Structure 1
Amino acid sequence: MSFCPVPVEQQPVNEYQELAQSWFFQWVTLPKVKFFSKLSGVWSLSLLITAPISGASFPPDEQIFPFLIASALGSSLFVAFVLVRLYLGWKYIGDRLKKTKIVYEESSWYDGQVWEKPLEIYNRDRLIFNYQVEPVLKRLEKSGLLLIALMVSGTILFWLI
């Protein structure tokens, strides 16, 4: 391997490893059932916030279905925020892995440098992207589309009731 002037913590492969091992960002690498149970947990916990707000607009004893749908839609927004945050974190790492040039800082924000990856490092990073990061991004995109479909269905149902 050739010399790499990029600080260790700013090298894309190390950024990837740190992200993949972090408590929050590893959610999406879990098996599907566990991943969706984490998202369900976020949805359930956010009901503690959205249900009282929905209850103020739609009293549960008078308008149970609008109350339930509004609470569910509000909680779905929290899940959407989580999915967006996961996607942005993984997308950033994916972009750094795919690029042939790396922008890095030696000591502070004012001394940015650019380093061109040698072919062997570029190929390694590209493999990591193709086999580790890209499937995660696709899972997040599919999850986002499913959530959007559920939210649109809930909104339509809300307006029909």
Structure 2
Amino acid sequence: MTCPVPEEQQPLNEYLAIKDAFLYCWATRSGWPLYRILLGVWLGCWVVAGPVAASSFSPSRHLVEFVCLGSIGATIGLSLPLLRIWLAWIYVKNRLQSDKVLYEETGWYDGQEWQKPETDLAKDRLLVTYEVQPILAKIRNIHLGMAIAVISFILVLRVVS
């Protein structure tokens, strides 16, 4: 049986597209290449967080408070693209794991459903287990580390103030 789902809506092709897309491919990297990107975005978020923190705490008189508040803002700023990346990978994971594929032939009004053959379903679920799940775990761990960092900065602010 041939697959009636348009090419760009097939779960495997969605996986391949997200794996190569600019923002979403960050999650496929590991080690220093990933941390370099995250550090760059975090430092870029300081462009907004720094002046906001400086309006609350003068860097010349309250350096620790300024750094903590700016770091909290930059970390929250970094969490936004990471949340978007995580949501996209969750979407692909759900499409790959599902035994049925929802798709549209010509527009939003003609939704169809296609039952995956057992062989395709097994391949897609293996892909989820060995490729997508580790990516989601990596993103979750990064978010967990960022949450710990924000809590640490908040505790430092409480101690210093």
- TM interval, shorter chain, is over 0.9
Separation in structure 2 between the aligned mates of residue 45 and residue 80 of structure 1, nearest angstrom: 13
Identity of paired residues, percent? 32
Deviation at 1:137, TM superposition (A): 0.4
1:19 aligns with 2:46: no
Deviation at 1:140, TM superposition (A): 0.6
Deviation at 1:31, TM superposition (A): 2.2
Deviation at 1:59, TM superposition (A): 1.1
Deviation at 1:100, TM superposition (A): 0.2
Q: How does 1:49-88 map to 2 (within 5 A)?
A: 49-88=48-87
Aligned residue for 2:105?
106
Separation in structure 2 between the aligned mates of residue 100 and residue 48 of structure 1, nearest angstrom: 46
Q: Which 5+ residue runs of structure 2 have no aligned equivalent?
A: none
Coordinate RMSD, CA, aligned: 0.8
Q: How does 1:89-104 map to 2 (within 5 A)?
A: 89-104=88-103
Deviation at 1:79, TM superposition (A): 1.2
Amino acid at match of 1:151: V
Matched positions, count: 160
1:142 aligns with 2:145: no
Partner SS, residue 114 of structure 1: strand
Aligned residue for 2:5?
6
Amino acid at match of 1:130: T
Q: Which 5+ residue runs of structure 1 have no aligned equivalent?
A: none
Partner SS, residue 60 of structure 1: coil
Amino acid at match of 2:86: Y
Partner SS, residue 22 of structure 2: coil
Separation in structure 2 between the aligned mates of residue 53 and residue 153 of structure 1, nearest angstrom: 20
Aligned residue for 1:119?
118
Amino acid at match of 1:22: A
